[in-house]
Amino acid sequence: MKKILLTSIFCSSIIFAESDPSKTYDYEITPFVSGILTDSKVNLDDDSYINGGISVGKNFSDLFIDQVEIAYMRSASVGYENSNGNTNIDRIFLNAVKRFELTDRLAAYGLAGLGYQNVSQELDKHNDSAIFNYGIGLRYDIPYYGIAIKGDVRHLIATKENQNDIMYTLGLGMPLGKKYTNDIIAAKVPTIEEKKSPIVEEKTEILPVIEDDDKDGVSNKFDKCPNTSAGVKVNKDGCVETVNLNINFDNNSAEIKNIYNEKLHQFANMLKANQSMTALIEAHTDSKGSDAYNQNLSDRRAISVVNELKSFGIEYTRLKAIGYGETQPIATNDTEEGKAKNRRVTALINQ
């Protein structure tokens, strides 16, 4: 028992140091090891034993739960008390997972679900049974590698004989199926309708009448975006240009500072006032770190801004996020000032 408690404390210290891969992936696969402290009623030779397993999770961004996982685990060979017999226990679970962000990389999570255990050699009160489980854990995103260390403690309840077990796990989460890779809003090319200006006839001269249906200051004849919403700033072609949100991030961070709340609120109000508009949020990094890590970091920065705009009441269907990593610098990466400028977010407005 003391060994189990010491092992649990050691695992917990590792997890508090580190936890959670990027949310920019559709799936996560996690090989894990676990220890089980079992109910004495099942008459096993040892009240603790080791398991190995693997889980596959599907990530969600628009539901209350953040992940649904299916997990399989198998125990080491376990002996029975006062008997020469031994057994293996196979378990399979279907769990719902809800995560709670603590920092940019560290997150807590809770899980609950049901499953089934198969006892290869049933004896006395140790039987095949439906099984429930619930628990809490921590996960840490390892910088530059795109993987996560995960650990949790769970309570397992087998319906037959009301068997109770405590399980503690340590796993390595690896992301699969990247989101937003090519999820870019296609630019809409408006049809240019050229209208003939009506002519006012006088005795000696012909005067053209300038028409500007969308009241953006660009005549219909030269307006390449003739349906711009009223009050929106346009360029010489009558179209909305890229909006620089001027949001800069700290080094190696996707957390939006409070000083940008008012700017994001104003941008959200503009989208609310112009319901035909959609926005593509583009995020960038400096050159510090590997290409893969910077791509991952820029994805998380873009998603942070999208989530903030959604909190201001903008429908998620009107927002898309894409990260460009370090591929589009606007300043030199040889100075700290230049790097700070490159850690930025802009918005491309489409109508």
12-63 pLDDT, tens digit per residue, is 433 333 334 456 678 899 999 999 998 877 888 888 999 999 999 998 877 8
- Per-residue model confidence as pLDDT tens digits over 168-210: 999 999 988 765 544 444 444 455 565 666 665 555 555 566 7
What percent of the chain has a predicted confidence (pLDDT) above 90? Answer: 38
Return d(Cα 152, Cα 95) in angstroms, integer: 13
Report residue 164 as tokens: 């109770």
At 167, which helix (H) or strand (E)? strand 163-178
Q: Which CATH code is given to the segment(s) 242-350? A: 3.30.1330.60
For 251, residues 6+ apart whose C-beta sits below 8 A from its C-beta are: 286, 288, 339, 343
pLDDT given at position 62: 77
Phi first, then psi: give them for residue 161, nearest 5 degrees: 65, 10
Return d(Cα 112, Cα 94) in angstroms, integer: 8
The answer to whether the CB of 288 falls within 8 A of the CB of 297 is no
Q: Where are the beta strands (DSSP E) in 47-105?
A: 48-59, 67-75, 78-79, 86-87, 89-101
Phi first, then psi: give them for residue 310, nearest 5 degrees: -60, -35
Q: Where are the beta strands (DSSP E) in 80-146?
A: 86-87, 89-101, 106-119, 129-142
- Mean pLDDT over each residue of the chain, to the nearest integer: 81
CA-wise closest residue to 151 among 165, 120, 172: 172
The answer to whether the CB of 321 falls within 8 A of the CB of 182 is no
Report residue 22 as tokens: 């990027």
pLDDT given at position 182: 45
Burial-class residue 127 by CB neighbours within 10 Å (0-12, 13-18, 19+): middle
How far CA 24 is from CA of 59, 150, 182, in Å, comes to 9, 17, 13
- Per-residue model confidence as pLDDT tens digits over 287-344: 988 999 999 999 999 999 999 999 999 998 899 999 999 999 999 999 999 998 898 8
* Extents of the domains making up the chain: 2-178, 242-350
pLDDT given at position 90: 96
Phi first, then psi: give them for residue 39, nearest 5 degrees: -65, 130
DSSP assignment of 295-349, as one string? HHHHHHHHHHHHHHHHHTT--GGGEEEEE-TTSS-SS-SSSHHHHHHHSEEEEEE
Report residue 318 as tokens: 């009107």
Say which residue, 207 or 105, is predicted with more confidence.
105
Reported as a pLDDT band with limits 50, 70 and 90, residue 271 is confident
pLDDT given at position 142: 84
The answer to whether the CB of 249 falls within 8 A of the CB of 301 is yes
Farthest CA pair distance, the chain: 120
pLDDT given at position 98: 95
Per-residue pLDDT at 130 exceeds 80 = yes
pLDDT given at position 220: 79
Protein fold of 2-178: Porin (2.40.160)
The answer to whether the CB of 39 falls within 8 A of the CB of 165 is yes
DSSP lists the bridge partners of residue 44 as: 80
Report residue 152 as tokens: 């949790």
Kindly report the number of other CB atoms within 10 A of residue 222's CB atom: 13
Say which residue, 238 or 111, is predicted with more confidence.
111
Task: Give the residue-averaged pLDDT of 55-74.
Answer: 92
pLDDT given at position 171: 96
Return d(Cα 33, Cα 198) in angstroms, integer: 80
pLDDT given at position 95: 97
What percent of the chain has a predicted confidence (pLDDT) above 70? Answer: 80
Q: Model pTM?
A: 0.49
Token look-up 């104003």 returns 266
